[in-house]
Amino acid sequence: MKRLAKIIGIVGGTLALIWAMRDRFISVAASREPEPPVLRATVPDPAAPGIDTIDGIGPVFAGRLRGAGIDTVPKLASSTADTIAEVAGVSGARARSWIDQARSLT
C-alpha cells in the first residue's frame, strides 16, 4: 500500500510540474506572436460639412449612411437617390430631398 501511495505521489508531482511548465511555455510562445495588423480608417475632410447638417438626417440615418461610406455632404450630393434610399431605409422622395439639400450646400 505504501508503495502504491509513493508511486501515485511521484506521478502526481510529475504531472504538476509538467502542468506548471506548460503554462510557462504557452505564455512565452503567446508573447512571440506577431502583432495583428492595424486597420486604417479614412479621416473625413474637416472642411467638408457632415451629413448630419442636412435637415432630416439624425443620428440613426447618419450612422446608416456612414456605414455605407457616405460621410460628407459632397459624397451625399454625388450619390443617387436609389442608393441613398436603400442604404438609409427611406423613401426615394426623402432621399432626393437630402440630395437636393446637399447639392445646395456644395
User: Structural domain boundaries of the chain?
Assistant: 1-36, 51-105
State the CB neighbour count (10 A cutoff) for residue 104.
10
pLDDT of residue 93: 93
The packing angle between helices 59-67 and 81-88, to 10°, is 110
| Residue 30 pLDDT greater than 60, yes or no | no
State the CB neighbour count (10 A cutoff) for residue 87.
18
pLDDT of residue 38: 73
CB contact set of 76 (below 8 Å; sequence gap of 6+): 51, 54, 65, 70, 84, 98, 99, 102
Query: Residue 96: pLDDT band by 50, 70, 90 thresholds?
Result: very high
pLDDT by residue (tens digit) across 47-86?
667 888 899 999 999 999 999 999 889 999 999 999 999 9
CATH number 1.10.150.20 given to 51-105 = yes
- pLDDT-wise least confident of 4-8, 13-17, 42-46, 47-51: 42-46
Which strand (E) or helix (H) includes residue 6? helix 2-31
Q: How many separate helices (H) and strands (E) can be counted in the chain?
A: 5, 0
